[in-house]
Structure 1
Amino acid sequence: MKIGAHYLGDGCCEFTVWAPEKKTVAVEIVSPKYQVIPMEKHGGYWQVTANNIEPGTLYFYQLDGAETRPDPASNFQPQDVHGPSQVIDHSFTWNDSNWSGVPLEQMIMYELHVGTFTPEGTFEAIIPRLKDLREVGINAIELMPIGQFPGDRNWGYDGAYQFAVQNSYGGPQKLKQLVDACHQHGIAVILDVVYNHFGPEGNYISCYGPYFTETYRTPWGSAINYDDAHSYDVRNFFIQNALYWLREYHIDALRLDAVQAIYDLGAKHFLAELAENVAELSQAQGRQIYLIAESDLNDPKLIRPQEFGGYGLNAQWSDDFHHSLYTALTGDLIGYYEDFDKYEHLAKAYKDNFVYDWKYSKHRQRFHGNSASDRPSYQFVVNIQNHDQIGNRMLGERLSQLVSFEAVKLAAGAVLLSPYIPMLFMGEEYAEDAPFIYFVSHSDPDLIKAVRDGRKREFKAFHAQGEPPDPEGKETFLQCKLNWEKRQTGKHKLILDFYRHLIQLRQQIPGWTTGDRNNIQSGSNEDKKLVWWTRDIAGKRLLCLLNFNTSGITFDNEFGNNSWRKIFDSSEEKWLGTGSILPEEINSHQQLTMRSQSFALYEA
């Protein structure tokens, strides 16, 4: 069942809303001319097809002849979350008929927040920068959530309207222009969607029906009703939302936020039903569409095919890879990082992805995870920075503010030369030093206080000292804006060239993204703080050495009898290193000496 306002052309519009417990529902047109149009009930849905309704018409739904509320499936909220919904004409002249997408295994992802990526903070302002991203090697941008949130600034995870494109970003037409331009540049578009909660302000959806259940609780309050009474139509709401973005906006993939908070004990999990519907649309449109989960469950069931008992999603984020790499770089063992106190954890992440695959977790005080050894490596997305991991810090510092210049290069190599799909966080490619702090623009004073108090409580878990920046303050938001001009100067430009070179290296070696984890071996030396891995790719054997020690180290060559030839070294002077002391060729069991916080790639 399609929901919302669907403009049919010639001044004709169909309105559909689910409100199973209401006695009467009507469309209340507030502009351009006030009128009330009664709706007819069909099962739990109310519908009416009305004439003389043009695009731009503003409306509410009138419930039981009393309260008026915006459309829960509103396509646009031009007057913010409390204002009327607007009828949208989705016709658009697309120029991407020859667009075939970017295969998942070939993606170089780039997480982007629309409001802070440019000074203007709009979809349109992103377009002139696509050429620069493409030249670095980026071929997929992931837009953080763009569903309508209160005010003009927000991380995006406080959205109250799943179908409505944020008004301050430019609205529906500008989003389509951005997607169309991305496709012209060979860039896929991934959209971050939130199916585990609604934002607290402007959230009127419970006025319409039992969208929530008290059976479960989430970090954001009552859980969305995916398996209780009336859950079929709640599931339909979110499935229609996914299809809406993919169909109307030509989005190439959806990133599903925190799926561990989607509670469903039914025989067919909501995620499996979602995957089935997206697969049908993908087949009908003749293009591959992907679903990518964020999850801290370490459960490969998410990405296993349904015929093998999985949900059939295409990929998932890997927290374990991030955590083990982050602790290796910083030595930070506070909070959940305490589970990643050994270099062998990063070595295991290279081989198995999940470090905790039914191993005991000190932080959780229980066994955690399951083996993903049957899943190809290209089903996992890895990073060293993302919005959460930066924002989880009280001052929102990026990695470039926490570690040395050499360690920044080491982090880039660790991610970009991994067997997994790499994802960069905007600005990372030139070592941006602007913070990325949680920010909001609520209007309810009690809610603002609750958000401020909540941030303080969160940082106590990380033993952070001092006061966190005010999430409501506009200055907090403004200091998160990228300093785009820095990418052309000094060490920032060198890091940009460094990222470009590593991405090219990854793309030029045939078979890098085969996904076969059987050809990967890895190991570590805890005393030396050394991690290494080898891979067999397309008739070649690769060896990568990663030194996390802040001093130079000497170690024995225990990587087989191959004759290794060096193809990259981060300590070379052209990368502003102090000069490599690793040999150009490694033969036999010689001793090797390596610069601090550096990495090198060899082939045999």
Structure 2
Amino acid sequence: MKVIVNRPGVTLNSGEADVWVWAPKAKKAAIQLLPSNHELPLTKAQYGYWHIKTTELKDGALYKIILDDKDPLPDPASVYQPEGVHGPSAAVDLNAFEWTDNTWNNVDLPSYLLYELHTGTFSPNGDFAGIESKLDYLVSLGITAIEIMPVAQFPGKRNWGYDGVFPYAVQNSYGGPKALQHLVNACHQKGLAVVLDVVYNHLGPEGNYFNEYGPYFTDKYNTPWGNAVNFDDAGSDAVRHYFIESVLMWFRDFHIDALRMDAVHAIKDFSPNHILAEIKAKVDELMTATGKRHYLIVECDLNDVRFINPLDKAGFGIDSQWIDEFHHALRITAGGEQTGYYSDFNGIADLAKSYNDAYVYDGQYSPHRDKRFGIKATDNTGEQFIVFSQNHDQVGNRMLGERSSELFSTEMQKLMAGAVLTAPYLPMLFMGEEYSEPNRFMYFVSHTDPELAEAVRKGRKEEFAAFHAQGEAPDPMAEDTFDNSKLQWNLIAQQPHQTMLAYYQSLIALRKSLPVLHQTSRKGLHAEANEEQQTLLLHRNYHMQEAIIMMNFSSNTQSVTLPAGATQWHLQFNSAGTAWQNKPSNTPAQSGGTIVNLQPESFIIYINE
């Protein structure tokens, strides 16, 4: 296939617009300039592309695409939809922004400490400027990378982002592309990396005009969202090019540091060169050309190291992946309900296995899946896995959207944070957990199609059948559902939230300052569970430093024995310490020689130099 230098859509450069449209079945194509309705005919090129170079399309100009004299359509590669998914596209000069981050070159991946946030509910403004206003707060917390849920244009103003229908366009209600560039630049000035969540496994239903252009989808495979994106069927060369150029655009034109690709297990591609491997190869080429580092992160439900193994070892070369199994085991250990996909997890023994082996299921039989599942990840390093005690999925996909702050005691919340932040993997927080935000994070949309809105309501109800949830799911279309999911920033100055925030700050600072906790090597690591006591001992070694993290998930004080050499163990952190208590009656754990009395729902970190 002919290599196209510029990405699909409109690229502005030195006052000239370079326009590429893929419409292989069209007999004629044109750009319609708005509001004049003046049409610029496109010239047919190879492989179904249409092309024009023109000076009539300026920065900010509105336009649509006309195929075979039919109704005008938005550009599927639009970078801005100022009037929403059904409105005209806008040409944007992405090269016009004056970047001041020339010396920035991304945070080392092992040093990523991620903070997942949703733009619309993170701040009162619900936009990129609102995120920017909180960057100093995130830096003081100890975060090194913010992970922004999808910003691709979706219907209306309220959406998680996974219903986006313009993978190149930046949501208008968040501020559009130039505001995103401004945010990324500001993050880099503060020393923060930016991870953007992108969705390449499906496209949303409302405003989806892709079928009008060409075979972007294939009926060879089915996904939870319908026909799969066409990555290996007839016409797939152009579809692959479309998504590869989207990846490169975020890195090159928006200076995004890493992409988190949603549910890549739903990407169906049986071609010899998997689309993820091709994306990785193209990103490597970009990094060689620019000297800048970028990472690729995936959400993957397959426990298959092929995704994260390097290209030269027959892998897809992805840098890191979310590991839901750590979360599932942790939640069951903490006392969460063992329903739905949680039914596969038996608590503290599985949590210890996740520390030791990354994947809980690495070849054994899975009752929930009714098959043997997974493969061992023996040779994969810690930074290739991202762990968390909650995220947008695990909170918002509950029927009522309850956070850990509502489901678990304060002490258990602190213990869960300790389990994540002492792991040899990359830790991720979900916005607000660091001060125990009580507002729920619920599922919300703002579809304009009444039938579609009702289908979403019905789908939410059906989704919870396996969980046997009680009551009615909040109406995802209601504006109150969205408003009640916003963070309450006034709480960080009030108790007990102020103490919880200080707790997270101290624990994060300790992880960053102690080499044995900061490094992500899985060598010298061993986790051992005592199911009767509900305690877990996590040993970590690094050069001359050794750590033991003693966790008690039970509601009773447990006596735990320190390893040999107890006289050399020095207490570094105690989640039951007086500094973190709002109840003066709680006392720190006491050590009697080699015996430690571990308080209920608490953990202790000892260091042996």
Unpaired stretches in structure 1, ≥5 consecutive residues: none
- The answer to whether structure 1 residue 391 and structure 2 residue 381 are counterparts is no
Secondary structure at the counterpart of residue 18 of structure 2: strand
Q: Deviations over 1:498-530 (max 9, x none)?
A: 111111101111253443212101110111111
The counterpart of 2:437, out of the listed 423, 432, 438, is 432
Q: Which residue of the partner structure matches residue 67 of structure 2?
A: 63
Q: Summarize the Cα distance change of 1:513–1:376 in structure 2 as closer, same or farther, 3 Å threshold.
A: farther
| 1:582 alignment partner in structure 2 | 589
For 1:516 and 1:248, how far apart are their aligned partners in 2?
A: 34
User: What is the aligned partner in structure 2 of residue 550 from structure 1?
Assistant: 555
CA contact (8 A) 2:562 2:595 kept: no
1:600 counterpart SS class = strand
Assess if the C-alpha contact under 8 Å between 2:32 and 2:66 holds in 1.
Answer: yes
* SS of match in other structure, 1:330: coil
CA-to-aligned-CA distance 1:286-329 (integer Å, 9 cap, x gap): 12100000011111111111111110010000011100001111
Q: Could you tell me which of 45, 49, 52 is aligned with 1:48? A: 52
2:131 corresponds to which of 115, 121, 126: 126
Counterpart Cα distance in 2 of 1:75 and 1:307 = 34
Q: Alpha-carbon deviations, 1:475-496, whole Å to 9, x = none? A: 0000001001111211111111
Instruction: Give the count of matched residue pairs.
Output: 598
- In 2, Cα distance between equivalents of 1:267 and 1:120: 46
**CA displacement at 1:52 relative to structure 2:** 2.5
1:334 lines up with 2:339 in the alignment? yes
Verify: 1:311 aligned to 2:298, yes or no.
no
What's the counterpart of residue 483 of structure 2? 478
Which region of structure 1 is more displaced relative to structure 2, 177-186 or 559-568? 559-568
Q: Residues 443-476 of structure 1: CA distance to partner in whole angstroms, max 9, x if unpaired? A: 0011001000000000112111111000000000
Q: Which runs of 4+ in 1 moved over 6 A?
A: none
- Which of 409, 415, 428 is equivalent to 1:410? 415
| 1:222, distance to aligned residue in structure 2 (A) | 0.7
- Give me the whole-angstrom Cα distance separating, in 2, the residues matched to 1:560 and 1:285: 51
How far is the alpha carbon of 1:267 from its aligned partner?
1.2
Distance 2:347 2:435 in 1: 29
Match of 1:18 among 8, 17, 22: 22
Cα pair 1:212 1:222 within 8 Å, conserved: yes
- In the alignment, the residues of structure 2 paired with residue 430 and residue 93 of structure 1 have an alpha-carbon distance, to the nearest angstrom, of 36
Query: After superposition, where does 1:243-282 map in structure 2 within 5 Å?
Result: 243-282=248-287
Residue 200 of structure 1 aligns to a residue in which SS?
coil
In structure 2, C-alpha distance between the alignment counterparts of 1:96 and 1:362, rounded to whole Å: 50
- Out of 597, 600, 603, the residue aligned to residue 604 of structure 2 is 600
Task: Indicate the SS of the match to 1:442.
Answer: coil
Task: Give, in whole Å, the separation in 1 of the partners of 2:558 and 2:516.
Answer: 32
CA distance in 2, matches of 1:517, 1:139: 21
1:531 Cα deviation from its structure 2 partner? 1.1
- Separation in 1, partners of 2:606, 2:323: 26
Cα offset, 1:85, TM superposition: 0.4
- What is the aligned-residue identity percentage? 46
CA displacement at 1:538 relative to structure 2: 2.8
1:26-175 equivalences in 2 (<5 Å): 26-31=30-35, 33-43=36-46, 44-90=48-94, 91-175=96-180
Q: What is the CA distance between 1:561 and its match in structure 2?
A: 4.3
> 2: CA distance between counterparts of 1:274 and 1:315?
14
Deviation at 1:55, TM superposition (A): 1.4
Secondary structure of the structure 2 residue equivalent to 1:133: helix
Cα distance in 1 for residues equivalent to 2:326 and 2:112: 18
Distance (whole Å) between structure 1 residues aligned to residue 237 and residue 566 of structure 2 = 59
Q: Do the aligned residues in 1 keep the contact of 2:516 with 2:540 (CA within 8 Å)?
A: no
Change (3 A) 1:337 1:528: same
Separation in 2, partners of 1:238, 1:164: 13
Partners of 2:537 and 2:550 within 8 A in 1 = yes
Preserved CA contact (<8 Å) 1:373 1:517:
no
1:222-237 mapped onto 2 (5 Å cutoff): 222-237=227-242
SS at match of 1:545: strand
1:177-188 correspondence to structure 2 within 5 Å? 177-188=182-193
Aligned equivalent of 1:401: 406
Alignment of 1:541 onto 2:546: yes
Q: How is 1:207-222 mapped onto 2 (pairs within 5 angstroms)?
A: 207-222=212-227
What TM-score do you get using the length of structure 1 for normalisation?
A: 0.97
Q: Which runs of 5+ in 2 are unaligned?
A: none
Counting only pairs closer than 5 Å after superposition, residues 192-207 of structure 1 correspond to structure 2 as 192-207=197-212
